[in-house]
Chains A and B, each alone.
Chain A
Amino acid sequence: MSEHIDSNTMKYKLISLYQQNLQQINEGLPERMNKYRDQAIREFDKQGIPIKGEEKYKYTDLMHAFGRTYGYIFKAPNITVDSKTIFQCAVPDLDTHTLILENGWYDALNNQHAELPEEVVACSIREAAVKYTDLFEKHYNQQVLEHPESVAAFNTAFAQDGMFLYIPDGFVMEKPIQIINLLRGSNPLLVNQRNLILAGKNSQAKVIVCDHTLSQQNFLSNTVTEIFVDEHAVFDFYNIQNQHNQSSQLSSLYIQQMQHSNTLTNTLTLHGGFVRNNVFVKLAEEHAEANVFGLALVDNKQHVDNFTFIDHAVPNCQSNEMYKNILDDEATGAFNGRILVRPDAQKTLAFQSNKNICLTPTARFFTKPQLEIYADDVKCSHGATIGQIDEDALFYLQSRGIGGREARMMLMYAFAYEVIRNIRVPVLTERYGELVEKRLRGELSRCEGCFVHCN
């Protein structure tokens, strides 16, 4: 642990790590992926590791995540154990095509049983960079370049693997695709996973991403996912974050939507010591709709920060945003919701809501709606509240014979349910509900379904 190292020193350590290992990082990867690295590391150098107080990191100090000592794996590991033998998803009746990535690496052997329809491409991003050159060239790193974010640039510099998913034009996925990200190892590890998902014109797909840790090392996962949703496509992205409480999770999700497309993202944070989620949505063509939801249930000393930026670049688009947090013990959290309605984006509908419950006087939450509206014929609203459990409602339930603890549970669940009910996979709605209830009852002490029982 080197907690007191300052962010500048750490930055230079990481840059020199990059320089020393560049050859290894580049190995086996084409120029079309590697060409972005130098520019990205310069961006990282320019921005540095965001520390508390900066505009976009007002309440979150990334030195909590970066200020530790981690190992790195720059060479694709030989996976000898079938991940399925050590991990089984405990989501009952959830019939999905399951793909597993370990420490950010995608192994084809490990994923040969996903039984995906042959029209759909699911492979490692390494493979995609070589095999699907046009698609890769057209989309890789394009959204990240639009929003030069320090952690995303860091990812671009180091990224070697991750998930590539392509749903061709007109194709409708019947079953959801579940991507399980496992972190495990006998040493602390920093992982830069890079995902690229392309939903073709008029296609439909739902992706569920589950993030787990299988050993109790300090992990820092710094993931970047770029999603391109072409016209008339309907695309859902659910992320269940359930890493152990000594891990740090940085997630940057980029979505670009073309005309008449419809997306839903839902980030559920259950466990994880330090979590920062960035969501960038660009409504790039007319009549696109984005639904951006998030729910975090945190306790102890957990910290969770959701940063969202919805860019209404053109007229006639709609965005619905709802983030909720329940904080117990000494947990802290933040929400920053930026909505930009550009001058020509008339008839925009943009709604944002952020509601939070602090269960204890020591739990803290900070919320910052940030609406920038440059068009005059729009409908936008935002609301933010930070409060406690409603005492009147609590008394009402108790007066019917429901015990105080149970009554609190019901109210917390009801609070969370507003986010859960927006899930568009019926079975997943139930499962989310169960996970949330277990988490609220404090019964979700270890990663669901894991045989390792690390924490």
Chain B
Amino acid sequence: MLSIKNLKASVDGKEILKGINLEVKPGEVHAIMGPNGSGKSTLSAVLAGNERFEVTEGEVRFNGKDLLDLAPEDRAREGLFLSFQYPIEIPGVSMVNFMKTAVNEHRKYHGQEPMSAGDFLKMLRDKKQVVEIDDRLTSRSVNEGFSGGEKKKNEIFQMAMLEPKLAILDETDSGLDIDALRIVANGVNKLKRPDNATILITHYQRLLDYIIPDVVHILHDGVIVKSGGKELALELEEKGYDWIKQAVKI
């Protein structure tokens, strides 16, 4: 589904990703862990198409298409979804209008008619239950005045609405209390299907108690230095990132 080969990217002339290689297949959950500044968020931003980052080398194929060649909106329409670490507040754009526009732009791209108002509202109602999101939140402006937890729930709600093939969750667990974390993880698990995949980007192992990964990668200084099963996350938690740093030096 996703194939990353020797991906290098920089921001303001500083190289952050120094040759990433990653293969993700349908049905898989991958976790990418790493210390601060290792390039985790850069990787997700580059995949989603944030123009602040410049790709200097490498190739990314997504369901057979050259991902890096696509505009951010087309990546989304092809089924890529990024859950932001810091969701943006957009005063004046209502959640309902935002989602309706997004859903219909997806449909248009795939040659489908816009959704009727009735169908859309029904879908909205159903998907709200996935993350136990409050009615109040969907009637407000996008993320405006939302708490940290509400913003993260809202990201997963949007994911539920757009039904992506590949979801990248960038530090979705950061700043979440344990109850909110359970709700968010539960939502992600409910959305899991044999034909979609998830990449979890996280600093800590805790999220992985709730969303069980098939593969864990450790990112350090812009490269994946180690990959393994879910036990790798536990080992990392136990030994700390210094263990990896030292292992890399050797």
Chain A residues with a Cβ under 8 A of chain B: 390, 392-393, 395-404, 406-407, 410-411, 413-418
Q: Is B18 an interface residue (CB 8 A)?
A: no
Contacts of A410 in B (CB 8 A): 90, 93, 97-98, 101
**Nearest Cβ distance between residue A325 and chain B, in whole angstroms?**
15
Q: Is B88 an interface residue (CB 8 A)?
A: yes
Judging by beta carbons under 8 Å apart, are B88 and A401 in contact? no
- Interface: B50 (CB within 8 A): yes
B76–A400 contact, CB under 8 A?
yes
Does chain A have a CB within 8 A of B217? no
Answer whether residue B209 sits at the interface, using C-beta atoms and an 8 A cutoff: no
- For B188-219 the 0/1 string (1 means CB < 8 A from A) is 00000000000000000000000000000000
Give CA–CA (A403, B102) in the complex, Å: 9
A-B contact pairs, 30 of them (CB 8 A): A392-B88, A393-B90, A395-B51, A395-B88, A396-B84, A396-B87, A396-B88, A397-B93, A398-B72, A398-B76, A399-B49, A399-B75, A399-B82, A399-B84, A400-B76, A400-B98, A400-B162, A401-B73, A401-B76, A401-B102, A401-B106, A401-B162, A403-B73, A403-B105, A404-B71, A406-B105, A407-B73, A415-B92, A416-B92, A418-B92
Q: Are B90 and A399 interface neighbours, CB within 8 A?
A: no
Report the Cα distance A280→B195, complex, angstroms.
Answer: 65
Shortest beta-carbon distance from B171 to chain A in Å:
16
Q: How many residues of B contact A (CB 8 A)?
A: 30
- How many whole Å from A406's CB to the nearest CB in chain B? 7
Residue of B73, B77, B102, B106 with highest tally of chain A CB at under 10 A: B73
- The one of B71, B90, B97, B162 that contacts A396, using a Cβ cutoff of 8 Å: B90
Q: Bound state CA distance, A149 and B180, in angstroms?
A: 61
In the complex, what distance in Å separates the CA atom of A402 from the CA atom of B92? 16
A411–B101 touching, CB < 8 Å:
no
B91 within 8 A of A: yes
Q: Is the CB of B102 within 8 A of A402?
A: yes
B151: min CB distance to chain A, Å: 11
With a cutoff of 8 Å between Cβ atoms, the chain A residues found around residue B87 in the complex are 396
Return A84 CB to nearest CB of chain B, in Å: 36
> A402: which of B51, B91, B101 is its contact (CB, 8 Å)?
B101
* Interface 0/1 of B52-66, CB less than 8 Å to A: 000000000000000
Q: Is the CB of B106 within 8 A of A399?
A: no
CA–CA, A393 to B91, complex, Å?
10
In the bound complex, how far is the Cα of B71 from the Cα of A398, in angstroms?
Answer: 8
In angstroms, Cα B66 to Cα A149, docked, is 64
Q: How far is the CA of A406 from the CA of B81 in the complex (A)?
A: 19
CB distance from B59 to the nearest CB of A (A): 21
Q: Are B92 and A397 in contact (CB under 8 A)?
A: no
Q: Determine whether the beta carbon of A399 is less than 8 Å from that of B48.
A: yes
With A406-B101, A406-B105, A410-B101 known as contacts, the answer to whether A400 contacts B158 (CB < 8 A) is yes
Interface mask (B103-136 → A, CB under 8 Å = 1, otherwise 0)? 0011001000000000000000000000000000
Of A397, A400, A410, A411, the most chain B CB neighbours within 10 A belong to: A400
**A403 cross-chain contacts in B, Cβ below 8 A:** 71, 73, 105
Chain A residues with CB under 8 A of B88: 390, 392-393, 395-396
The 9 closest A-B pairs by CB, nearest first: A414-B92, A401-B76, A398-B72, A396-B88, A417-B92, A400-B102, A398-B73, A414-B93, A401-B77
**Smallest distance from the beta carbon of A351 to chain B beta carbons, Å?**
17
Assess the B105–A413 pair: CB atoms within 8 A: no
Could you list 4 further interchain pairs (A-B, Cβ under 8 angstroms) beyond the known A396-B142, A399-B76?
A393-B90, A399-B49, A401-B102, A415-B92
Pair B84/A401 contact, Cβ less than 8 Å: no
Closest to A400 in B: B102
Nearest residue, chain B, Cβ from A417: B92
**Closest Cβ neighbor of B75 among chain A residues:** A399
B82 nearest in chain A by CB position: A399
User: Which of B77, B92, B105: most chain A Cβ within 10 A?
Assistant: B92
**B72 to A414, Cβ gap below 8 A?**
no
**Bound CA span A395–B51, Å:** 9
A252 to B211, CA, bound (A): 65
Point out the residues of chain A lying under 8 angstroms from B109, CB to CB. 401
Contacts of B71 in A (CB 8 A): 398, 403-404
Determine whether the beta carbon of A414 is less than 8 Å from that of B90.
yes
Report how far A400 CA is from B105 CA in the complex, Å: 9
What A residues does B81 contact at CB under 8 A?
399
- Interface pair A395/B91, CB less than 8 Å apart: no
Quote the shortest CB–CB distance from A423 to chain B (angstroms).
14
| A residues near B102, Cβ cutoff 8 Å | 397, 400-402
A416: which B residues are within 8 A, CB to CB?
92
Q: Whole-angstrom distance between the alpha carbons of A398 and B81 in the complex? A: 11
Nearest CB of A to B138, in Å:
15
Instruction: Kindly name the residue among A396, A407, A410 whose own CB sees the greatest number of chain B CB atoms within 10 A.
Output: A396
How far, in angstroms, from A417 to B88 measured CA to CA in the complex? Answer: 18
Chain A residues within 8 Å of B82, by CB: 399
Given A406-B105, A410-B101, CB of A399 within 8 Å of CB of B92: no
B101 proximity list for chain A (CB < 8 A): 402, 406, 410
